């Protein structure tokens, strides 16, 4: 119970910072909504931890709910890194296009 309260306090702190950043115009709408949904889902997961434990057990996983959430988190991180890698690759190609354009138009 105490751990859940601490986690919720941390999320509340991060959300407050996020709202502040939005107010100052430091983050875009898209980014704001993405992180808002992310932290709200995290809040829901913390509040409904017992229910998630049951759901996970009924799906046949041997770990607890929090463990399965952790594994899912790792999968999502891998996916995000992969997406980032693709984006970087595209930026690299765009840089090449610009460099070539400058070279050929000199």
Partner 1 sequence: MLNLKKYCIIPAYNEAKTIVKVIRSVKPFFNKVIVVNDASSDQTLALAKKEDIIVLNHIINRDQGAALETGNQYALDHGAELIVHFDADGQFLAKEINDVMAPIISGEADIVFGSRFLAKKSNMPWFKKNIIMALARLINKIFLGVNLTDPQSGFRALSRMAAKKIIIENDGKAHCSEIMHKAVKYNLRIKEVPITVIYYNFGQRFSGGIDILKELFLSRLIN
Q: Which residues are at the interface with partner 1 (CB under 8 A)?
A: 85-86, 89-90, 92-93, 95-96, 99-100, 102-104, 106
- 31 or 89: whose CB is closer to partner 1? 89
What is the smallest separation between the CB atom of 79 and partner 1, expressed in angstroms?
13
Helix (H, G, I), strand (E, B) or coil at 26: coil
46's CB contacts (< 8 A; 6+ apart) are: 4, 7, 8, 11
15-18 — which CB contacts under 8 Å span 24+ positions?
15/39
What is the smallest separation between the CB atom of 40 and partner 1, expressed in angstroms?
32
What is the smallest separation between the CB atom of 94 and partner 1, expressed in angstroms?
11
């Amino acid at each position: 119970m105490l751990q859940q309260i601490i986690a919720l306090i941390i999320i509340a702190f991060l959300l407050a910072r996020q709202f502040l950043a939005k107010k100052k115009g430091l983050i875009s709408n898209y980014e704001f909504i993405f992180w808002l949904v992310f932290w709200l889902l995290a809040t829901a997961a913390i509040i409904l931890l017992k229910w998630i434990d049951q759901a996970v057990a009924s799906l046949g996983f041997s770990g607890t709910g929090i463990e399965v959430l952790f594994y899912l988190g790792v999968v999502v991180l891998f996916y995000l890194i992969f997406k980032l890698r693709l984006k970087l690759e595209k930026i690299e190609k765009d840089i090449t296009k610009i460099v070539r354009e400058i070279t050929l138009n000199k």
